[in-house]
Amino acid sequence: MKQLLLFGLTFILTACGVPELSTPASTPQAIHVIYPAALKPWADKLATCASGNPQTALYFTQSPTSGTTIADDELVLVLGEASLEDVTLYLSQVGKERLLVVVNQDNSLSQLTTSQLRSIFSGQTTSWGNGSGQLIQVWVFPNGDPVRMIFDQVILASQSLTSNAMLAPDPVAMLEAIARDVNAMGYLPGSVLTSSDPTLAGKVKLIQLDDSLEEELYQPVIAITKNEPQGLQRELLVCLQTAIR
């Protein structure tokens, strides 16, 4: 009887000690996103797209320019027509970004011709033509910034930027500078303006430009990958194309 009881206890303990088999959790796929400050709203949308998929781990790096080489796990967002030395890289247009000319909300100015805008940013026109005699304070981004490069190419063409221009390190700083100075003028990506604090954004207003100029300031947003996007990379880009509209 004692042996039977011992056998029974042994059986029960052995049965209780068998662990349940479980499938190991898969490791999330890491994707490194590199983007300029002007495209932060686009990077934020990518983060939102990835938030619903536990198999995706996004890592973000803000950089004004990208290198000539891209790793398999990298996704680079660029503003404007991409010029690449490595022609084997894959380019996907995910949308378009409109560059806007803005002034302080209290400024009475509402529209400018292309020649008037060029005259202001080149320093030929230095004061407002409203009889106030107040000087125009032009704001621009640093050299190498993609928005600055596009704006200079389209607006200034072969002319030089006024020496009185002030530098804003990023779009948020540009928005803040124009919001606090009635004599300030600058330019911003449209997505930055719409994604900013409404109270701050409400302190600036858009300047109406010539239709042809507005078209030139409407630039593509390109996603660059080493190869044609597949799997999670492709899902993210498709989501971004829909989410940013």
Per-residue pLDDT of the chain (245 residues; tens, 9 = 90+): 444 444 443 433 344 455 555 555 567 889 999 999 999 999 999 999 998 888 889 999 998 765 668 889 999 999 998 765 556 789 999 999 999 999 999 999 999 999 999 999 999 999 998 667 799 999 999 999 999 999 999 999 889 999 999 999 999 999 999 999 999 999 999 999 999 999 999 999 999 999 999 999 999 999 999 999 999 999 999 999 887 65
pLDDT attached to residue 19: 52
Q: From CA 82, how far away is CA 90, in angstroms rounded?
A: 11
CATH classification of the domain holding 86 = 3.40.190.10
Say whether both 73 and 102 belong to one domain. Answer: no
Going by C-beta distance under 8 Å and a sequence separation of 6 or more, which residues neighbour residue 144? Answer: 64, 65
Whether 158 maps to a domain, the answer reads yes
- What domain range includes position 50? 29-96+219-243
Q: Name the β-bridge partners of 149.
A: none
Task: Tell me the one-letter amino acid at 169.
Answer: P
How many whole angstroms separate alpha carbon 101 and alpha carbon 140? 11
Q: Does a structural domain hold residue 2?
A: no
